[in-house]
């Protein structure tokens, strides 16, 4: 897991890109733009994003843009594969969240 700092206005993930990590927000806010244009949700400390691509589809289902300076924790797909057997509840929770967000 690694820490990232993101500036206001930066795209953290981009619609249709290949997803290689899940992000956990420690500080700051981000807007979710499912169609790339209009924000439908605001995420803040304690929220997660990136799980749909990593666990369900392979592709990002939205663009996420920093609305304020952000501090994130990033869990790569490789790191996730290494820990998933040790913390199966994490995978279950992320899959459930991804399925809800994806409307499945």
Query: Is residue 104 scored above 60 in pLDDT?
Result: no
For the stretch 46-68, pLDDT in tens is 998 988 887 777 788 889 999 99
Of 50, 61, 66, 49, the residue nearest 102 (C-alpha): 61
Q: Which domains does the chain have, with CATH numbers?
A: 2-102 (2.60.120.10)
The pLDDT value given to residue 29: 96
The pLDDT value given to residue 43: 93
3-state secondary structure of 74: strand
* Core vs surface per residue 79-91: b (16+ CB within 10 A) or e: ebeeeeeeeeeee
The sign of the dihedral angle between the CA atoms of 47, 52, 58, 61 is: negative
For the entire predicted model, the pTM comes to 0.83
Q: Please give the mean pLDDT across all residues of the chain.
A: 87
């Amino acid at each position: 897991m690694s820490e990232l700092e993101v500036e206001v206005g930066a795209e953290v993930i981009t619609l249709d890109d290949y997803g290689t990590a899940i992000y956990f927000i420690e500080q700051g806010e981000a807007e979710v733009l499912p169609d790339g244009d209009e924000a439908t949700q605001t995420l803040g400390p304690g929220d997660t994003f990136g799980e749909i691509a990593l666990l369900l589809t392979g592709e990002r289902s939205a663009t996420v843009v920093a609305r304020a300076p952000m501090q994130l924790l990033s869990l790569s797909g490789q790191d996730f594969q290494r820990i998933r057997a040790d913390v199966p509840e994490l995978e279950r929770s992320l899959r459930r969240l991804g399925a809800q967000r994806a409307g499945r």
